[in-house]
Every structure is written in structure tokens, then in C-alpha cells.
Amino acid sequence: MARPVTLMTAQWGDLGLDPLCELAREMGYDGLELMEGAHFDARRAAQDKAYADGILATLGKYGLKTYAVAAHVVGQCVGDNWDPRLDGFAPSALAGKPEEIRAWAVETMKAVPWAAKNLGVSVVTGFLGSPIWAYWYSFPQTTDEIVDAGYAKIVELWSPIFDEFDKAGVLFALEVHPTEIAFDYYTWQRLVKEFGGRKTLGLNYDPSHLIWQGVSPTIFLRDFIDRVYHVHMKDAAVTLDGKAGILGSFLTFGDTKRGWNFRSLGHGDVNFEEIIRELNAGGYTGPLSVEWEDSGMERVYGGTEAAAFVKKVDFAPSDVAFDAAMGNE
């Protein structure tokens, strides 16, 4: 069983689709996890099948496929409280207009599942945003009422969007991630409960965001495997040295003084063999998508090495007990 190895395209948004496809094929990838806004327009793809078919034709020209599309940036704008950073995610005409940014994001996210359907995929990866992330540390005091209201707001905002996903027959895979309403084991567990166990909402499992927080990527995967709709392959290294803290110290990614950094696959602390074993045990056969983020390594070198790493570490489960041949006739 060779799972398809794909490349998440957000970090390659400076390249057009055609040159990115050529490069991805040269680096050894089987497909692309296309990022909305960077490599396709959701509203246009939802309404114009010929446009969607053109994207698929470009992929096909290089022997590539798409198994999922990504909507992280626009999804963040749905659930976040506005601050100036969101202006960079929304159309420039909406800068400084919080309610207009949110309205744009909601309507775009409603188009995303229909775009995905026209692109022939049934999973959208992304973020939900969070109106309470800024309150993660309990001073000034974060009350239970503030947290309850934050979860309620996400359910209010995203339920109509998920209705569109259901109509299109498409699933949403949340990347559990700091800055999201669900950023670790217990916040994800609560989010599922808040949505009443709604199957529309699942996981884009990414171990890199768990390991630096001290959450076991393997335990998380084992406990929530039934909700894993997509997998990101990304590594991170924790390098606490007695000076740097786990909060990053306002040092930019790649700075070797940081307490942790994202790393190219195989250069960090994630045990990917254990992850493959858990995916096998859980019956996951979908893509393994490389989200390449290593500010200390040249990206084509890293992206090429990462594709080879995933293909090497991926293996099929056994179809026979190793001791079956030892029994009596």
C-alpha cells in the first residue's frame, strides 16, 4: 500500500500553478494539496466547471493529482476576532473592516466545498479561527463564561458553512494548531462535543503542532483516528537550552536561538514510524501531504528530500501474523 505523497502549496504561493506542478513532479510528488487563494479561486471554481477542469488538466499534464484542497487563510478569517494581521488575508479593499472581512470569509467558505466537488475531491483542510485564542493564559482572568462563549461563536459561525459541506458531500479537516479554537488534545475533544459529534468536522492530522506543546502525536492519533480525514507530514524540533522558552521569545522561525522550530522531515523530533503504524492500525489510506516549513533549509533541496523521506517511511501493514507459519499442521 503506497499512499500518495502530495505537497501542500501554501508555502509555494510565489509560483504559478504550471511551474509549481513541474517542480513538484521533479521533486518526486504524486500530487498537490491546492491552497485556496494561492493556486485556485474557490468562488470561481464553485461556479465555473471549465475553470476547475483547467486546473485538473494542468495537474494531469505533469502526472499529478489532487486529493484534497486547503482553505486555511480564509477559514481563519471566519472565526478570529479582527486584528490588523487579518488584513493581509482578505481582499485589500476590506482592510480595517472586521465585519466585512468576516462576511467575505463566510461566503467564500460556503463556496469552498462546491469548488472541491468540481475539482473531484471530498476533503477540505483548513482552520476555523478562534475568538478566544488571545485569552489562552488566565491573566487577566479568563472566565468559564468567556471560553463557553468562544466555542458557541465558532458553532454559530461554522454550522451554516458545514451545511454547505454536507450538501456538497465534502468533509472539513481541521488542522489542530495554536491560534485555533482547538489547539491540543482537550480543546479538540471539546470542539467535537460542541458540534454534537457532527461528522462533517474531522482532522487534518499534523504532528508538528502537537510535539512542541508536549502533546504526544501518537496518543492523539490513536485516540482520534476515526476523525482523521487527511494527514500533514511536518516535523518540529524542540531545542530548549535554558535561555529560550517554548513560547518562541518573539524570535522569527529559523532563528537557532528559538526554543523550537519547524524542521524538514526527518530533522526533528517526530517519530514518523510510529505515526505510520497508527495510520495502518486505523485503516487510513489517504494522502500523506508534506507541508514544508523549514526556514533554515533551501526549500527545493528540502522539498525533494521530504518527498523521498515520506516514501521511505510509509509501509503497508502486515497481512499475516509473523508467527502463523510456526503452528502445527
1 pLDDT higher than 90? no
pTM above 0.95, yes or no: yes
What span, in angstroms and rounded, lies between the C-alpha atoms of 20 and 14? 9
Among candidates 34, 29, 25, which has minimal Cα distance to 4? 29
Confidence of residue 319 (pLDDT cuts 50, 70, 90): confident
What span, in angstroms and rounded, lies between the C-alpha atoms of 21 and 24? 5
Backbone φ and ψ for 177, nearest 5 degrees, come out as -165, 135
Find the distance separating the first CA and the last CA of the chain, reported in whole Å.
30
Q: What is the pLDDT of residue 257?
A: 97
Residue pair 110/161 in contact by the 8 Å Cβ criterion:
yes
For 43-99, give the secondary structure using H, E and C: HHHHHCHHHHHHHHHHHHHCCCECCCEEEHHHHHHHHCCCCHHHHHCCCHHHCCCHH
Q: What's the mean pLDDT in 106-112?
A: 98
What span, in angstroms and rounded, lies between the C-alpha atoms of 72 and 125? 7
Q: What is the pLDDT of residues 281-315, one digit of tens each?
A: 999 999 999 999 999 999 999 999 999 999 999 99
Q: What is the pLDDT of residues 232-280, one digit of tens each?
A: 999 999 999 999 999 999 999 999 999 999 999 999 999 999 999 999 9
Q: What is the pLDDT of residue 228?
A: 98
Residue 140: count of CB within 10 angstroms of its CB: 7
Mean pLDDT of all residues in the chain? 96
Q: What's the mean pLDDT in 76-90?
A: 97
Chain length of the chain: 329
Q: What is the pLDDT of residue 6?
A: 98
Q: What's the mean pLDDT in 225-238?
A: 98
Residue pair 168/113 in contact by the 8 Å Cβ criterion:
yes
Single-letter amino acid, residue 215: V
Q: In 80-203, where does DSSP find H-type helix?
A: 98-118, 144-168, 185-194
Whole-number percent of the chain with pLDDT over 70: 98
Residue pair 203/259 in contact by the 8 Å Cβ criterion:
no
CATH number for 5-318: choose from 1.10.10.60, 3.50.50.60, 3.20.20.150, 3.40.50.2300: 3.20.20.150
Q: What is the pLDDT of residue 318?
A: 83
